[in-house]
Amino acid sequence: MTTLAQVGLNTASLASLLFLVAAGLSLTFGLMRVLNMTHGSFYLLGAYVGLTVWRTTGNTPLAILASSLTAAVAGGIIYWGFLKRFSVLDEMPQALLTFGALLVIADFTMWRWGADFFSFPGPAFLRGPVELVGGISYPKYRFFLMGSGLVLAIGLYLFVARTKIGALVRAGVDDKLMVQALGINTPMVFLGVFVFGSFLAGFAGMMGAPFLGINPGLDFEVLILAFVVVIVGGVGNIEGAFVGAILVALIDTATKTYYPELAWFSIYVPMAVILAVRPRGLLGRGA
Amino acid sequence: MSTSTRVAAKNRMGIGSLATGTYAMLGVLVLFVILPHFIPGYYVGVLTRVIIFAIFAIGLNLLMGYTGLPSLGQGAYFGTGAFGVGVMTVTYNVPHPIGMVGAVVIAGLMAAVYGLVALRARGAYFLLITMALTLSTWAIAFTWRSLTGGEDGFPGVTRPGFLPWSLTSEVNYYYFTLFFLVAAVVAFVLIVRSPFGLALQGIRENEQRMRSLGYNTWLYMYIAFIMAGVFGGVAGVLNAYSVGAISPEWTNILPSAEVLLMVILGGPGTIIGPLVGAGAIIGASEILNIHFPERWIMFLGGGYIVFMLFARDGMVGLVRRLLRRWSKR
């Protein structure tokens, strides 16, 4: 019973984090049809910068802000400096270019911060456990993470469902060429969405640090997990990302708890099954 | 009557284009044959690596350049081929020829399984799924310590003899790999000029049209995927013998990223491209390792960015464009 509760709570924590990363990836992918392979790098780069800020100032909110802004700036550079030059049809060259950027950022962080595993305890008032009924205790911070995830999920859902930019994202998923032909997709809208998506990745980087730690290789891991969430949920679909995050987190957590030796593969199984059955995702709208 | 003239004209064109290509290839071959006698021993080893990666890149070129499916996961088959031959010949004392063939078959079977998943997707999805597959292969190699040695690696792979020659000498081993490169190039040319290879190029240009023409496009792509895996397996086997030890990192993202950039840099969809790409990347890594040790991945990433921005058709395409501009003058 206790393990079951642990699995449930860990699933909810991981799902909140995955949702934050995947929502940004889903938005940029949906609007611009660019598979941004640096998304996981923004997460990691942000977390490293946030960690350095926290170590020098001891100020957690400032560290989270630094992490988010670093990722946002990096995202802006990737879009404005490189991706803007490509036509909307050049899906593959853009993906390969962002893969190059992924390698550059991975090597830069390795150079600057080394191969060590860093941990970050989180803000002082959120340290330590909460006692729950039935003698279960669980870290306070993770409840905070779940709450933030839920609030952001509602906010993002309203953003995509109710705002004009959200409508553009949905339109871009359905027919990117039509949106382009209508002259709506100004580079500024693209830049805005790209920076916002990267901001979310950086935010998740620091928010996730007390939970996942900070270490090299996390960029690939986060990218693939977020990508699986997007596949499961469907591109540009916030509700889908929410459901996908819970599903992926559940599979990942359950495997790591009950079959730790299979932890590395657990995530590819749902991806393979879902691709085989519904290549556009469980709740996917279009391609 | 008219059909036969058309066929004859086609043949003549085919032979014509074959001739220029053949001359270029023969030139490269002569260079590869005589070069080891003019360079220091260390560089023979470097050239051997160029050859091994050229074989690796030829396989990916079939998939990327001719079928339009860029894979970021070829390391899986490279590493599997290497571990296959290592485990069979060292742990189980299997004779070398059987070990080599067996390892390539295992790499091909792995591609046959992975292809079922990867080919559900196209474009950028395909890129990420192949990457995920190679990362999970790395995880297998890394955690299965009893088989692969885990992070310590797998030492003690010794080279076989080949007819009367011992392959322990670097020069002999160089010629051994060169033999495989020639075989790979010949096989590759036969494949891409066959009806099968032409169908692949049709799929690259327009998969939907090929499907409406009655081609089972999935099957064509699936076979190309397995073929690329087999080339990767051959390269892995040769690299295992060349280095003498195998690391799980061979199944990881780095070799996959290197070989993909070789194909891009050389010029996808050209026959000589992978050789140019392999030479350029291995050469660059040699030079950069002297001046900037440990920063190779950054240069590799920079290579992707530069070629995607300025020369998507690679160096072969770049040279072609320059020649065209030059001949117009």
pLDDT of residue B13: 42
Residue B17 has pLDDT above 80, yes or no: no
Question: E-strand spans in chain B?
Answer: 161-162, 165-166
Query: For testing the chain B interface, which of A107, A220, A256 should be mutated: the one with the most B CBs within 10 Å?
Result: A107
Per-range mean pLDDT, top range of A108-122, A204-218, B71-85, B160-174: B71-85
Structural domains in chain A? 2-277 (1.10.3470)
Residue B290 touches partner A, C-beta closer than 8 Å: no
Which residue in B115, B119, B131 sits closest to B259, CA to CA?
A: B131
**What pLDDT sits at residue A85?**
85
**For chain B, the helix, strand and coil percentages under 3-state DSSP, each to the nearest 5:** 80, 0, 20
pLDDT band for position B11 (50/70/90)?
very low
CB contact under 8 A, B120 and A265: no
More confident residue, A180 or A58: A58
**CA distance to partner chain B, nearest, from residue A35 (Å):** 6
For the record, the structure tokens of A168 come out as 């553009």
Question: Which residue is closest to B71 within chain A, CA to CA?
Answer: A96
**Mean pLDDT to the nearest integer, A215-235:** 86
Percent of chain A with pLDDT over 90: 31
Q: What is the pLDDT of residue B16?
A: 44
Q: Hey, is the C-beta of A262 within 8 angstroms of any chain B C-beta?
A: no
Compute the mean pLDDT over every residue in chain A, rounded to the nearest whole number.
85
Residues of A in contact with B260 (CB under 8 A): 96
Test the B interface: residue of A32, A96, A267 with most B CBs within 10 Å:
A96
| pLDDT higher at B262 or A228 | B262
| Stretch 69-88 of chain A: residues touching chain B, C-beta under 8 Å | 82, 85
Q: How far is CA A30 from CA A226, A236, B24, B79, B239, in A?
A: 14, 4, 46, 35, 42
Q: B7 pLDDT band (50/70/90 cuts)?
A: very low
| Position A104 pLDDT exceeds 80 | yes
Question: Do residues B272 and B25 lie in contact, with contact meaning Cβ atoms separated by under 8 Å?
Answer: yes
Q: Is the pLDDT of residue B10 over 70?
A: no
| B6 pLDDT more than 60 | no
pLDDT digits (tens, 9 = 90+) for B229-270: 999 999 999 999 999 999 999 999 999 999 999 999 988 988
In chain A, the largest separation of any two C-alpha atoms, in whole Å, equals 61
Q: What is the SS3 assignment for A133? A: coil
**A104 has a chain B CB within 8 A of its CB:** yes
Chain A positions in Cβ-Cβ contact with residue B139 (cut-off 8 Å) = 264-265
> What dihedral do alpha carbons A199, A205, A207, A209 form, nearest 10°?
-170
Query: Taking a C-beta distance cutoff of 8 angstroms, is the pair B198, B190 a contact?
Result: no
Q: Which of B76, B79, B71, B78 is nearest to B135 (CA)?
A: B76
ipTM: 0.87
CA–CA dist B211, B222 (Å, integer): 14
- Tell me: the pLDDT tens digits for B97-137? 999 999 999 999 999 999 998 898 888 888 888 988 898 89
Q: What CATH number labels B40-328?
A: 1.10.3470
Yes or no, beta carbons of A35 and B312 under 8 Å apart: no
Does residue A15 contact residue A149 with C-beta atoms inside 8 Å? yes
Per-residue model confidence as pLDDT tens digits over A169-196: 777 777 777 777 777 766 777 888 889 9
Inspect the interface and report whether the beta carbons of A92 and B253 lie closer than 8 Å: no
A115 contact B CB<8A: no
The two tokens of residue B2 are: 């008219």
Say what the pLDDT of residue A206 is.
92
pLDDT on residue B329: 62
> Any idea what the Cα angle at residue B16 is, between residues B64 and B58, rounded to 5°?
20
All structural domains of chain B with their residue ranges: 1-38, 40-328
Do B297 and A85 make contact, defined as CB atoms within 8 angstroms? no
**Structure pTM?**
0.88
Residue A114: pLDDT over 60 = yes
Residues of B in contact with A108 (CB under 8 A): 298
With 0-12 / 13-18 / 19 or more C-beta atoms within 10 angstroms meaning exposed / middle / buried, residue B325 is: exposed
How confident is the model over B173-219, as pLDDT tens digits? 999 999 999 999 999 999 999 999 999 999 999 999 999 999 999 99
Identify which of A219, A145, A159 has the alpha carbon closest to the alpha carbon of residue A193.
Answer: A159
DSSP A67-83: HHHHHHHHHHHIIIIIG
Does B72 contact A at CB distance below 8 Å? yes
Structure tokens at A19: 């949702």
Nearest by CB to B135, which of A35, A82, A224? Answer: A224
Mean pLDDT of chain B: 88
3 state SS for B263-317 = HHHHCCCCCCHHHHHHHHHHHHHHHHHHHCCCCHHHHHHHHHHHHHHHCCCHHHH
Determine contact: A97 vs chain B, CB below 8 A.
yes
